[in-house]
Amino acid sequence: MCDGGDNDCDQLVDEYNPPDNVDCEGCKMFGRDSAVYHFCNSSKKWDEARGLCEARGAVLAKDGDQALHDWLMARLDEVKAGNGSWWLGARTPDGNHANFEWRDATKLGAFQPWSAGFPTGFGGTDCVRVASPATPFVAKQWFDGSCGDGRPYICEGPLP
């Protein structure tokens, strides 16, 4: 139930439980394989989004391969994300834009759908976001941006 409580005593609040609880506190939840993804439409700074994901028993999402990327983009269409970009779980820990890594400290890997000219290398653009499918000219592409910008975000966690 979306009620702010831990209804099944598993230390998680407002968790994914289809078909009863798939939309809670501004986040639409979808299961894929052994994970649940939370598409949270409220605008948060990267660190705030990370903390809110953790409160859900999740982390900011890792967009690590083409199949998952395509699935995430289809869900953004489904939640009517409009145009704009959403936080993912990658950032540079040291300001060096050659060192972007996922929240689990792994490097980005071969799949990197950066938009042309990105990452920029500009100081302060240390967090990764993805443009929604409806964003003109740059749909479905990654950008580096200021971690202090407010954006919607995608969390990833285990199925309960």
> Is residue 17 a part of any domain in this protein?
no
User: With contact defined as beta carbons under 8 Å apart, do 27 and 39 qualify?
Assistant: yes
The CATH number given to whatever domain includes residue 120 is: 3.10.100.10
> Is residue 152 a part of any domain in this protein?
yes
Question: What is the token pair recorded at 64?
Answer: 């690590």
Residue 1's pLDDT is what?
62
Residue 24's pLDDT is what?
64
- Name beta bridge partners: 37: 30, 156
- The answer to whether the predicted template modeling score (pTM) of the entire model surpasses 0.85 is yes
> Is residue 5 a part of any domain in this protein?
no
> Is residue 2 a part of any domain in this protein?
no
Range of the domain at 68: 25-158
Residue 76's pLDDT is what?
97
Number of domains in the chain: 1
> Is residue 18 a part of any domain in this protein?
no
Residue 26's pLDDT is what?
82
> Is residue 90 a part of any domain in this protein?
yes
Per-residue pLDDT for the chain (160 aa), expressed as one digit of tens each? Answer: 666 677 777 666 666 556 555 666 788 999 999 999 999 999 999 999 999 999 888 999 999 999 999 999 999 999 999 999 999 999 998 988 889 999 999 999 999 999 999 999 898 999 999 999 999 999 999 999 999 999 999 999 998 7
> Is residue 97 a part of any domain in this protein?
yes
CA dist 30 and 37 (Å) reads: 5
> Is residue 149 a part of any domain in this protein?
yes
